[in-house]
Chains A and B, each alone.
Chain A
Amino acid sequence: MSHPYIPNSVERVKREMLSYIGVSSIEELYASIPEEIRFKGRMNLPEPLRSEYELYRHMREILSKNVSCEDYLCFKGGGTWPHYVPAICDEIAGRAEFLTAYAGDPYEDHGRWQALFEFESLMAELVDMDVVTVPIYSWGHAAGTAMRMAHRINGRREVLIPRTISPERFLVVNNYVDPALKLIKVDYDKERGMMDIEDLKRKISRETAAVYFENPSYLGFIETGGKEICEIAHEMGAICIVGVDPSSLGVLEPPSHYGADITVGDLQPLGIHMNFGGGLGGFLATRDEEEFVREIPYRIFGLAKTVKEGEYGFGDVLFERTSFEKREKAKEFVGTAAASHGIIAAVYLSLLGPKGMRELGEAILQRSAYAMKALSSIGLKAPKFKAPHFKEFVVEFPGRKSVEEINKELLKEGIFGGIDLRKHFPELGNSALYCFTEVHTKEDIDRLVDALRRILG
């Protein structure tokens, strides 16, 4: 029986094609694969579910074992955050043309080139920098590249990073910059969470290629000392790299305004579903200076003119930077990464516009402010750090029950509690990282606080 996915599995057609080629069996076409390395066994795979309906039932059965953040209340962030995805984002993301295209040329895939050019252009406004690339895998990867760019520009071999960096991201960056660069962690102010400026001054040297920090930080506080950190970096001839959550940029100053030479971050908050952590897309932005642009490893789409008056065309800027052209002589490497997430982010930013981004920031601030107030009212230290926050903050619980136990009980009430910080930040005690965004209503937050009140007795 022919398979619906394989039109030429029809025997008659196969025979016709074999006869045209002039062989009697497909096996003859494999003559270049020697017998001794052939796989002789049977792959132990389940019996196929031949009909689409059987497959549908099977998949639904497995996937129904999941409980989603729409079934339960989710107060977890930490690099993937619950946000509302506008219907138009899903509509465009699901378009067959975008979904099933790949690396098409600027002619028959003009729409893909324009959409990604618009992505670059919209992000450029959001971060207020002139150059943005086609997206890459994730924030962590983009941060690693920014550090390697700094190293190539100034030849130095150390990067200072905050001790409060996301543990996931740290592992990505750490592997990515090895062996070219050494990462040195700068301590944080125990009261305010922010980078300890004295420790920064102690650790920075003529060997420092770059200083990297995040705003808002992994622990949710706003690093208000950004300007000073960048100045200290620049005085020492180091490059300043800032990682940013783009959903904050309607209300927070973009890092370029306080000294960032390179801005990186993740697109997931901009209209991309969480997808169990699969919704990431790294972005990288910098100034329009040759010294920087020439060190970028990723694809950069640029506008061009065609032979027809007034017609927009697009193409690759400085393609010879990339591994597609220069192999091991290239700036790092580039490949299939997160292009469609870039297109979705472009749709999202087009929908929100300047007012929407500001209101999004305000909505997030509202929820966090209300949650702080409500959680404090039941005796919790919320936030633990004396600092302004955006979207997330550390909540410290009394020692009677561990965060792990509390989260287990919250789960019974249909709530995903904050991220347990004990493993990566033991010095913060019995603390959890809570996340509040525009998806949370007052009732949602009240439900959380009521549940915690009961659980904590």
Chain B
Amino acid sequence: MGVVKVRRGFHEARWEEPIIFELSNEGERGILIPLDDKIRREVGDVLSSIPEHMRRKDPPKLPEVSQMRVLKHYLRLSQETLGADLNIDIGQGTCTMKYSPKVNERFVAMVRELHPYQDEETVQGALEIMYKLDLFLREISGLDRFSFQPGGGSQAIFAMASIIRAYHKKRGEERDEIITTIFSHPSDAAAPAVKGFKVITIYPDPETGIPDVEALKAAVSKRTAGMIVANPEDTGIFNPRIKEFCDIVHEAGGLCGYDQANANGIMGIVRAKECGFDMGFFNLHKTFSSPHGCGGPAVGALGVRRELENFLPVPVVDYDPERKAYYLNYDLPDTIGKVREFYGVFPVVVRAYAWIMALGEEGLKEVARVAVLNNNYVMHRILREVRGADISYPANKRRIEQVRYSLKKLKDETGVGAEDVIRRMADFGFHLWTSHHPWIIPEPLTIEPTESYSKEELDEYIEALKEVVGEAYEEPETVINAPHRSVIHKIEDNSWFSDPKKWSITWRLFLKKHGGKL
């Protein structure tokens, strides 16, 4: 049995690192540029080729820092960041913070210097990986064709909203409403609004937390263009009537888009197709293991049913058996155009392909099963052992891969709320996240254990949470004033984020507004 430890002596790196501009020393250089003397002799002063009024007179006020100092500065900042590789990163629920296998970084290094407009015959390996990952995702979703162009989940939602719009336009129907649920990702509401849709939000049954089918029936009309929802939702609750939801929207003439940013608990168990969806997307940086990179770059792999294939962004990858060659196919007559230049964040595609190849069909199912097992284990431990904590919709204990918890009781009894607990968890070497707004569940926390952490690691997380909650009852000030052993101390003055006279979005604004003094 592995050891379970509460790291009371933990302290994150605290370098008190200055801002890069404060390290500047006139004349220092971080790197030299290859100015070619042979070329210079041939062409002379090239700067004079730029008309006087277009030539930069004042050099940009960038810092001047020697190479090792730049390296050290950013290494220190990296040490002041708690990536999933160091964390037991289960506290960032909905984000699927799983292990990103290191070997995949080797593959990524092999595709760095490919230009997107190279002749197709010189990128057959790249196209083969895109083509085959498309085939894999078809199996996992039951949908018929994928595009990797969207650069993240929100952009994939935007692409789905664009397809819904193009589809109705082609049919000459004026439909301008999109339905979502409150526990679907905020972008499921926000992105369709950008596409000109009015958004209708369905709330759940107050007992079960399951989206209210009667509310859906009341919401659909001949204005319904479509529905975009997650399932399971942010609460971790799976809507068992999802097929009926899709049927209702279809009968009203709408299309159904599935937000499967996070499909980690249901791979191989239930698919978009059997639920009745017309399209959907997987975040390759979530379920399919590509690292999150502090927030991208990423891929929201967008899949559609055959009938919608021609609406996908161009190009898609095809295979020509005669030439025995993969190629980029721009011939989609109803295409929405593009949502991002080129073909997507290719390194993310490579990692997802390699991850699936390492697991196979049984491995993917095992990922889902263990993610669900881990989640239910954590949930039952929290319910039994963490004072002041409860789950959202406590009457319904059926959760898939994550759970939205509530610390309302803790807040009522001690004055210590979710945001305090989050800051204190940092003192034990953990990240914990509240939840997307609006906070329908009071004092929320969302935990998603994924398949990547051992039982002992899950236990360690819970032991730390118990310790923090214990402190909330015994010495609440410790929690309220946290963090103490993290990189920095508590930020209490929020006026710097809201007052135009104070906000310092850049170093130069800090100098202008505050004279460089906090």
Q: A337 to B297, Cβ gap below 8 A?
A: yes
Q: A315 to B293, Cβ gap below 8 A?
A: no
User: In the complex, which of the residues A328, A356, A365, A416 contacts B29, with contact meaning CB atoms closer than 8 Å?
Assistant: A356
> Do A95 and B33 form a contact, CB below 8 Å, given A5-B101, A7-B454?
no
Q: A350 to B65, Cβ gap below 8 A?
A: yes
Q: A111 to B76, Cβ gap below 8 A?
A: yes
Q: What band does the interface of chain B fall in when counting residues whose beta carbon is under 8 Å from A?
A: 35 or more
CA distance A416 to B116 in the complex (A): 11
The minimal Cβ–Cβ distance linking B286 to chain A, given in whole angstroms, is 9
- Chain A, residues 106-136, CB within 8 Å of chain B (1/0): the string is 1111111011111011101110101110100
CA distance A381 to B27 in the complex (A): 41
User: In the complex, which of the residues A64, A104, A131, A252 contacts B125, with contact meaning CB atoms closer than 8 Å?
Assistant: A64
Judge if A386 is at the interface, Cβ distance under 8 Å. no
CA distance A313 to B111 in the complex (A): 37
Q: B373 to A14, Cβ gap below 8 A?
A: yes
CA distance A179 to B192 in the complex (A): 11
Q: A70 to B454, Cβ gap below 8 A?
A: no
The minimal Cβ–Cβ distance linking B515 to chain A, given in whole angstroms, is 13
Q: B186 to A323, Cβ gap below 8 A?
A: yes
A to B CB contacts below 8 Å, 23 in the list: A17-B373, A29-B376, A33-B269, A63-B111, A63-B129, A82-B113, A99-B100, A103-B95, A104-B81, A108-B426, A108-B431, A108-B487, A115-B74, A172-B340, A175-B336, A251-B55, A253-B57, A274-B116, A277-B346, A336-B295, A350-B30, A370-B43, A419-B117
Q: A354 to B341, Cβ gap below 8 A?
A: no
Residues on A with C-beta less than 8 A from B211 are: none
Residues on A with C-beta less than 8 A from B296 are: 137, 336-341
Judge if A13 is at the interface, Cβ distance under 8 Å. yes
Q: A324 to B436, Cβ gap below 8 A?
A: yes
Q: A340 to B293, Cβ gap below 8 A?
A: yes
Q: A122 to B100, Cβ gap below 8 A?
A: no
User: In the complex, which of the residues B243, B348, B372 contacts A30, with contact meaning CB atoms closer than 8 Å?
Assistant: B372
Judge if B477 is at the interface, Cβ distance under 8 Å. no
Q: A101 to B400, Cβ gap below 8 A?
A: no
Judge if B444 is at the interface, Cβ distance under 8 Å. no
- Chain B, residues 272-302, CB within 8 Å of chain A (1/0): the string is 0011000000010100000111111110000
Residues on A with C-beta less than 8 A from B348 are: 278
Q: In chain A, what residue has the closest Cβ to B128?
A: A62
Q: A277 to B343, Cβ gap below 8 A?
A: yes
The minimal Cβ–Cβ distance linking B185 to chain A, given in whole angstroms, is 8
Q: A276 to B126, Cβ gap below 8 A?
A: yes
Please count how many residues in chain A sit with their CB below 8 Å of the partner chain's CB atoms: 207
Judge if A202 is at the interface, Cβ distance under 8 Å. no
Q: B518 to A310, Cβ gap below 8 A?
A: yes
Q: B139 to A318, Cβ gap below 8 A?
A: no
Q: A277 to B54, Cβ gap below 8 A?
A: no
CA distance A301 to B506 in the complex (A): 8
Q: B358 to A50, Cβ gap below 8 A?
A: yes
Judge if B224 is at the interface, Cβ distance under 8 Å. no
Judge if B173 is at the interface, Cβ distance under 8 Å. no
Q: In chain A, what residue has the closest Cβ to B276?
A: A37
Task: Point out which of A32, A118, A300, A390 has the most chain B C-beta atoms below 10 A from its C-beta.
Answer: A32
User: In the complex, which of the residues B84, B128, B361, B489 contacts A308, with contact meaning CB atoms closer than 8 Å?
Assistant: B489
Q: In chain B, what residue has the closest Cβ to A72?
A: B122
The minimal Cβ–Cβ distance linking A153 to chain B, given in whole angstroms, is 16
Q: B30 to A356, Cβ gap below 8 A?
A: yes
Residues on B with C-beta less than 8 A from A455 are: none
Judge if B38 is at the interface, Cβ distance under 8 Å. yes
> Do A37 and B154 form a contact, CB below 8 Å, given A323-B189, A328-B189?
no
Q: In chain A, what residue has the closest Cβ to B357?
A: A49
The minimal Cβ–Cβ distance linking B341 to chain A, given in whole angstroms, is 4
Q: B83 to A100, Cβ gap below 8 A?
A: yes
Closest 6 CB pairs of A and B: A277-B342, A335-B154, A48-B360, A277-B116, A111-B80, A339-B295
CA distance A326 to B153 in the complex (A): 17
Residues in A65-107 with C-beta less than 8 Å from chain B: 65-70, 72, 74, 76, 78-80, 82, 84-86, 88, 91-92, 94-107
Q: B49 to A411, Cβ gap below 8 A?
A: no
User: In the complex, which of the residues B16, B92, B294 contacts A98, with contact meaning CB atoms closer than 8 Å?
Assistant: B294
CA distance A46 to B93 in the complex (A): 31
CA distance A137 to B512 in the complex (A): 30
Judge if B321 is at the interface, Cβ distance under 8 Å. no
The minimal Cβ–Cβ distance linking B148 to chain A, given in whole angstroms, is 9
Judge if B414 is at the interface, Cβ distance under 8 Å. no
Judge if A184 is at the interface, Cβ distance under 8 Å. no
Residues in B359-417 with C-beta less than 8 Å from chain A: 359-364, 366-367, 369-370, 372-374, 376-377, 380-381, 398, 400
The minimal Cβ–Cβ distance linking A245 to chain B, given in whole angstroms, is 13
CA distance A291 to B422 in the complex (A): 34
Judge if A138 is at the interface, Cβ distance under 8 Å. yes
Binds A, one of B213-221, B248-256, B467-475, B491-499: B491-499
Q: In chain A, what residue has the closest Cβ to B188?
A: A327
Residues on B with C-beta less than 8 A from A59 are: 106-107, 110, 350, 354, 357
Judge if B3 is at the interface, Cβ distance under 8 Å. no
User: In the complex, which of the residues B121, B372, B431 contacts A109, with contact meaning CB atoms closer than 8 Å?
Assistant: B431
Q: B237 to A111, Cβ gap below 8 A?
A: no
> Do A140 and B340 form a contact, CB below 8 Å, given A80-B115, A227-B53, A336-B154?
yes
Q: B31 to A66, Cβ gap below 8 A?
A: no
* Beyond A99-B293, A365-B47, A408-B119, 20 extra complex contacts between A and B, CB < 8 Å: A6-B366, A26-B373, A36-B243, A38-B270, A92-B74, A106-B491, A110-B487, A114-B19, A118-B19, A140-B340, A168-B342, A227-B53, A252-B54, A305-B493, A307-B490, A323-B189, A354-B60, A388-B54, A438-B34, A441-B36
Q: B55 to A252, Cβ gap below 8 A?
A: yes
Judge if A382 is at the interface, Cβ distance under 8 Å. no
> Do A31 and B59 form a contact, CB below 8 Å, given A3-B366, A332-B194?
no
Q: In chain B, what residue has the closest Cβ to A128?
A: B60
CA distance A86 to B344 in the complex (A): 24
Judge if A312 is at the interface, Cβ distance under 8 Å. yes
Q: B97 to A102, Cβ gap below 8 A?
A: yes
Residues on A with C-beta less than 8 A from B186 are: 323-327, 330, 333
Residues on A with C-beta less than 8 A from B28 are: 353
Judge if B191 is at the interface, Cβ distance under 8 Å. yes
Task: Point out which of B268, B314, B453, B508 has the most chain A C-beta atoms below 10 A from its C-beta.
Answer: B508
Judge if A293 is at the interface, Cβ distance under 8 Å. yes
> Do A86 and B31 form a contact, CB below 8 Å, given A252-B56, A350-B73?
yes
The minimal Cβ–Cβ distance linking B48 to chain A, given in whole angstroms, is 10
> Do A111 and B339 form a contact, CB below 8 Å, given A101-B84, A339-B294, A353-B29?
no
CA distance A76 to B113 in the complex (A): 12
Q: In chain B, what residue has the closest Cβ to A177?
A: B194
Residues on B with C-beta less than 8 A from A226 are: 54
The minimal Cβ–Cβ distance linking A83 to chain B, given in whole angstroms, is 10
Residues on B with C-beta less than 8 A from A32 are: 237-238, 240, 398, 400
Q: B151 to A338, Cβ gap below 8 A?
A: yes
The minimal Cβ–Cβ distance linking A5 to chain B, given in whole angstroms, is 6
Q: B78 to A120, Cβ gap below 8 A?
A: no
> Do A66 and B115 form a contact, CB below 8 Å, given A105-B422, A118-B19, A253-B55?
no
